[in-house]
Amino acid sequence: MTARRPDGGDLPEFLRRLLDAAADLPLRHRAPRPTATARRSAVLILFGEGPAGPDVLLIEKSAHLRRHAGQPAFPGGGVDPGDDYPVGTALREAQEEAGVEPDGVRVLATLPELFLGPSDNLVVPVVGWWDDPGEVAVGDPQEVARVARVPLTDLADPANRFRVSHPSGFVGPAFGVADMVVWGFTAALLDAILSASGLARPWNRGDVRPLPEPGARAAALPGSVDGDGDEDAAAPTVADPAPDGPPARTVGPR
């Protein structure tokens, strides 16, 4: 881990705990050795203070994509020429995908790189804090379907946690939050973040569900709990693309 702001005296306690433990992030799988062709990539794990307490920024990829269609993720992507990799890559992608102004992000650390074999990507997670959260915005609707600031309390809630089973035999953690099913690399990172930050709560690991279709909504999953309309309360921190016209924008709390 590379620390950017080692003092962090004004950061929330959970985030200081995460930064202290980040070098040994408790990921539950062993990453394979990178290939010689692996593309360098970065994601932004952006925390901020929202109406329901601390939250983290997630996007849902468009169903039109060739890879990872409809899958929730952290903002991020591959390095471009001229990027100050990995921080510059993560900030550029977050701006393009979710409307995050780079100048408003306090970069705190870069976590150890992780190799994703199926996509042949070598990913560096970049941890940031939003001192003054601004807008969340859907970028190109052909690439991003939704943007959401997800409260950490929702991620830690045992009622929102389960595991998914991939046809390959892989079984991994998942979250039903912001009406999205978060699984795979993003869910594994979130699971490790909750543990390292001291926010994790006991949950039923025996609740294993089939991998949902791309873009499946959490409320539609077998065994999941319907939010009874509570999703409307999250509207100020969720952005969906308009069916016509320019991308939708929503103003986050100030």
Average pLDDT over residues 199-226: 76
**Position of tokens 């943007």?**
147
Residue 249 has pLDDT above 50, yes or no: no
Determine the distance from the C-alpha atom of residue 161 to the mean position of all C-alpha atoms in its chain, rounded to a whole number.
15
CB contact at 8 A, 60 and 186 = no
For 132-174, what is each residue's pLDDT tens digit?
Answer: 898 788 887 778 889 999 999 999 999 999 999 988 888 999 9
The answer to whether residue 234 scores a pLDDT higher than 60 is no
40-95 confidence digits (pLDDT tens): 999 999 999 999 999 999 999 876 655 555 789 999 999 999 999 999 999 999 99
C-alpha–C-alpha distance, residues 45 and 203, integer Å: 23
**Interatomic CA distance for residues 127 and 3, integer angstroms:** 9
Q: What domains appear along the chain, each with residue ranges and CATH number?
A: 37-222 (3.90.79.10)
At 127, phi and psi to the nearest 5? -95, 130
| Other beta carbons less than 10 A from residue 93's beta carbon | 26
Which pLDDT score, from 0 to 100, does residue 186 have?
94
Q: Is 159 helix (H, G, I), strand (E, B) or coil?
A: helix
The label of the residue with tokens 């309309």 reads 229
Q: Other C-beta atoms within 10 Å of 201: how many?
A: 11
Tell me the average pLDDT of the chain: 81
How far is it, in rounded angstroms, from Cα 105 to Cα 177?
Answer: 24
Q: How confident is the model at residue 212 (pLDDT cuts 50, 70, 90)?
A: confident
Q: How far apart are CA 84 and CA 26, in angstroms?
A: 27
